[in-house]
Amino acid sequence: MSASEKGPSQRQLRVGEIIRHALADILARGEIADPDLDGVVITVPEVRMSPDLKNATALVMPLGGRNTKKVMTGLERSRKWLRGQIARRVNLKFAPDIRFQLDTRYDDDDTITAVLHRPEVARDLGEEE
């Protein structure tokens, strides 16, 4: 089994959680001076770290799922500033490069639920039992 098949290491998970807390704190305080992020509540459910801890992918979602393109644009513009703020708050050898990705897990769950409730799928599932 390769390292990618095993999933993230304990160290990756721990560092990801530390960065998630720092990023969520910065976003909650509204410290970013970007017009697209002004007054927007952004949740950070997860931060995924690369094995070398030099790259972080933050899964983000604006509250209510509105204005996602605008929010993602604002976060991308603020990447370097956020990296500097995280470097000041988190004691790591190197501050990771931060990338933002829209968290679509809840939408994916709704899609899967809808597919499972379709008559042809329910019929097929009923035949297997």
Ordered structural domains, the chain, with CATH? 3-103 (3.30.300.20)
For residue 82, count other CB atoms closer than 10 A to its CB.
21
Report CA-CA distances (Å) from 91 to 18, 82, 86, 87: 10, 15, 9, 7
Full 3-state SS string of 8-30: CCHHHHHHHHHHHHHHHHHHHHC
Structure tokens, 26: 């910065």
Q: The pTM is what?
A: 0.74
Could you please report the per-residue DSSP string of 53-112? SSEEEEEEEEGGG-SHHHHHHHHHHTHHHHHHHHHHHS--SSPPEEEEEE--HHHHHHHH
Per-residue pLDDT tens over the stretch 13-50: 999 999 999 999 999 988 888 888 888 899 999 999 99
Residue 30: name the closest of 40, 20, 18 by CA.
Answer: 40
Per-residue pLDDT tens for 64-122? 777 889 999 999 999 999 999 999 999 888 889 999 999 876 655 566 666 677 787 77
Is 57 within 8 Å of 47 (Cβ atoms)? yes
